């Protein structure tokens, strides 16, 4: 599709990236760290910084820097070790929420994903704010988002207003918005390609736009065409959906919306039985329960709870999900309710792979 033919309502590719992810999880688990420069990556002299919160970044500390250097730059910084399992756990909660908005989701890393939100039944920009709200309410964490009409522009946009940012890139903003950017900002231009281009005096997208496709192909091979198109706002990459099931559960849309708690709990009970059956058949158990509701105005809400132990009985699933329903404080009539379970592991205690 030509860029000029794309309408604003077709901004449907969303890229999300959690803010200072590991550090934010550490602050969530230990709120006394908030507001202080925090560096994650352990205390050993030979360690490497995995990330730093935004306070520590003011001192110049960044990912992949040796710890000793970070200590020199930020002597008052608080240094904590990396706790990968905990970040994976929170990541699953976040992905759970994302998944409640769309099935078309491509996880990129523990804290980053592309989503196609055109099927969520609401205006895309409203969906963005709802996702932000759900993630914040459920996990206490903020993320940054970019909404556009392809992956390249969505990712570029999510980095625009970090932290807690949101940025739209519409077709009529292209290519002007790209002109002043360093070519290194263009997905697909790595260090080697950048050097080749720098060597011929090309530093900004503005310079790169002057070059013909033929010239770029000659200089960079096949890759040249991709870059030629990308800086003109064209990126035809599809989302690579991870088909392996990361959660199981079920949901129902009512013919007649209801606010009756007993009716809602009856459904929850039915879902709990179904989930138990599914878990037994697959010989798995889970630790996170997510309840999702959608009200008459199509507004969705989700609540999750991650337990410290695995469960697989319908009684436990019912207990947790009805507690989540109580927490949701339903005021409008509900048209859809669903329960799902994630953080799955096999009964044999072998952890199922998630995000590798």
145 scored as a contact of Mg ion (CB under 5 A): no
Count other Cβ atoms within 10 Å, centred on residue 252: 13
User: Closest distance between Mg ion and the C-beta of residue 101, in Å?
Assistant: 19
235 scored as a contact of Mg ion (CB under 5 A): no
Instruction: Return the bridge partners of 345, or none.
Output: 285, 351
User: Closest distance between ligand TTP and the C-beta of residue 292, in Å?
Assistant: 26
Q: What stretches of the chain adopt beta strand conformation (E)?
A: 13-18, 38-40, 51-52, 78-80, 105-109, 112-116, 143-148, 166-168, 247-258, 284-295, 300-311, 334-342, 345-346
Stated as kind and residue range, the H or E segment containing 239 is none
Tokens of 251: 């949901």
User: Closest distance between ligand TTP and the C-beta of residue 19, in Å?
Assistant: 4
Task: Tell me, yes or no, if 55 is annotated catalytic.
Answer: no
52 vs 231, which CB is nearer to Mg ion?
52
134 scored as a contact of Mg ion (CB under 5 A): no
User: Closest distance between Mg ion and the C-beta of residue 23, in Å?
Assistant: 10
- Which of 11, 17, 165, 285 contacts Mg ion by CB under 5 A? 17
Of residues 21-80, which lie at the interface with Mg ion (CB under 5 A)? 21
CA distance 207 to 211: 8
58 vs 332, which CB is nearer to ligand TTP?
58
CA distance 9 to 4: 13
User: Closest distance between Mg ion and the C-beta of residue 111, in Å?
Assistant: 4
56 vs 216, which CB is nearer to ligand TTP?
56
Give the list of residues 6+ apart from residue 146 with CB closer than 8 angstroms, or none: 14, 15, 153, 154, 155, 156, 157, 158, 159, 160, 166, 167, 168, 169
Which residues here bind ligand TTP, judged by CB under 6 A? Answer: 17-22, 50-51, 63-64, 111-112, 162-163
Options 8, 27, 55, 112, the catalytic residue: 112
48 vs 217, which CB is nearer to ligand TTP?
48
Using DSSP's 3-state secondary structure scheme, residue 317 falls into helix
23 vs 202, which CB is nearer to ligand TTP?
23
Contact letters (x/-) for Mg ion, 100-129, by CB under 5 A? -----------x------------------
Region near Mg ion per CB under 5 A, out of 18-26, 182-190, 229-237, 266-274: 18-26
Tokens of 166: 């949101």
What are the angstrom distances between the C-alpha of 234 and each of 107, 231, 274?
22, 7, 45
- Point out which residues bind Mg ion (CB under 5 A): 17-18, 21, 111
């Amino acid at each position: 599709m030509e860029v000029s033919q794309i309408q604003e309502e077709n901004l449907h590719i969303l890229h999300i990236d959690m803010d200072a992810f590991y550090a934010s999880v550490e602050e969530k688990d230990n709120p006394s760290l908030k507001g202080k420069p925090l560096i994650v990556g352990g205390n050993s002299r030979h360690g490497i910084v995995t990330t730093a919160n935004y306070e520590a970044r003011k001192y110049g500390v960044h990912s992949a820097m040796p710890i000793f250097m970070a200590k020199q730059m930020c002597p008052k910084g608080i240094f904590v070790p990396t706790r990968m399992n905990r970040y994976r756990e929170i990541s699953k909660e976040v992905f759970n929420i994302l998944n409640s908005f769309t099935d078309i989701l491509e996880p990129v890393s523990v804290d980053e994903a592309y989503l196609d939100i055109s099927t969520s039944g609401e205006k895309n920009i409203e969906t963005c704010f709802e996702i932000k709200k759900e993630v914040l309410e459920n996990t206490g964490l903020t993320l940054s988002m970019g909404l556009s009409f392809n992956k390249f522009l969505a990712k570029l946009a999510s980095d625009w207003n970090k932290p807690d940012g949101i940025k739209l890139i519409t077709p009529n903003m292209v290519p002007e918005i790209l002109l002043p950017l360093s070519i290194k900002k263009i997905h697909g231009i790595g260090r080697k390609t950048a050097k080749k281009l720098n060597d011929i005096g090309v530093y900004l997208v503005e310079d790169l736009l002057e070059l013909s496709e033929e010239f770029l192909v000659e200089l960079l091979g096949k890759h040249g065409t991709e870059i030629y198109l990308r800086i003109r706002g064209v990126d035809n990459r599809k989302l690579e959906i991870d088909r392996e099931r990361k959660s199981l559960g079920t949901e129902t849309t009512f013919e007649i919306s209801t606010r009756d708690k007993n009716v809602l709990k009856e459904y929850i009970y039915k879902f709990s039985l179904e989930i138990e059956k599914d878990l037994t058949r697959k010989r798995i158990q889970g630790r996170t329960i997510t309840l999702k509701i959608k009200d008459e105005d199509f507004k969705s809400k989700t609540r999750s709870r991650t337990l410290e132990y695995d469960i697989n009985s319908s009684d436990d699933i019912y207990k947790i999900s009805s507690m989540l329903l109580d927490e949701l404080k339903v005021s409008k009539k509900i048209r859809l309710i669903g329960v799902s379970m994630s953080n799955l592991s096999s009964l044999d205690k072998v952890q199922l792979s998630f995000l590798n």
